[in-house]
Homo-oligomer: A and B are copies of this chain.
Amino acid sequence: MTYCVGMLIDSGIVMMSDTRTNAGVDNVSTFRKMFHWSVEDDRVITLLTAGNLATTQSVLSQLEERNKAPAERHNSLLEAPTMFQVATQVGKLLNDTIAAQRAEHGQEGSDKMFQASIIVAGQIKGMEPRLFLVYPEGNFIEASFDTPYFQIGETKYGRPILVRGYSRDMSFEDAIKLVLVSFDSTIKANLSVGPPLDLLVMERDNFLPVHRRRIGADDPYFRAVSVGWGEALRRAFHDLPDYEMADEHAPVP
């Protein structure tokens, strides 16, 4: 599995991904699922990938034209005029890659084989920061402040805290803390999501990531959040009003 979150706030976009991949629980590896490119004073683009690793690595290799000699490579995302066109290009490559694999394998396997999803986020100078979720079919949806974050991979365990904790005017620091709590809940529940976690922060109108790091399982802040969240939840739970079993209640149908 995988867990990735892209979150839009007023100040910019926070992106986080785990790095665990598995082909069965007896075959677990670490692979980067976050990729970013910056052109100074022009654009910053970040992708988060989930799904079939061969598919997502192939999409990335094609984006960077790794079949060519290094000097001749050329990433068309860096020349797309809008983030909408960036998402369109990623979607087309993703769908073509999946379709090519399926064409070779015919009716073997299920519909889900070779599938992947990609979160695309970034900003091009003169335009707003934008956040997209690209489906395996190549089409995509865009985040707005009605639905200001996208999750891919194992999305359920970490969703309730995002729903409760998000506000668009939160600081980057609070947004990072919120996303880390969401990752902690997911990691505790699903073995196939695991650290290290990759974090990248894109500030509005700043075309270099303002913050970027890898957070290991033994990172002191991550450990403080993980342990502290357990204690904070227990206090929060204790603070709720107590149930009264002796109350008068509605009759049971």
Contact = CB atoms under 8 A, between A and B. Distances in A.
Interface size class of A (residues with CB under 8 A): 35 or more
**Total identical chains:** 2
A237 B177 contact: yes
A239 B165 CA distance: 13
A244 B213 CA distance: 12
User: Which among A163, A165, A229, A252 has the greatest number of chain B C-beta atoms within 10 A?
Assistant: A252
Contacts of A213: 249-250, 252
A171 B181 CA distance: 28
Interface in A234-253: 234-237, 239-245, 247, 249-253
Nearest to A229: B240
Given A213-B252, A250-B214, A240 B159 contact: no
Nearest to A246: B211
Interface in A183-222: 185, 188-189, 198, 201, 210-214, 216, 219, 221
5 contacts: A160-B185, A173-B242, A176-B243, A213-B252, A232-B236
Interface of A: 32, 156-161, 163-165, 172-174, 176-178, 180-181, 185, 188-189, 198, 201, 210-214, 216, 219, 221, 224-225, 228-230, 232-237, 239-245, 247, 249-253
**3 cross-chain pairs, A with B, having the tightest CB-CB distances, nearest first:** A156-B156, A232-B236, A213-B249
Given A174-B242, A177-B237, 14 more contacts: A157-B157, A161-B233, A164-B233, A164-B234, A165-B233, A165-B237, A173-B242, A173-B244, A173-B245, A181-B237, A221-B241, A221-B244, A225-B240, A232-B239
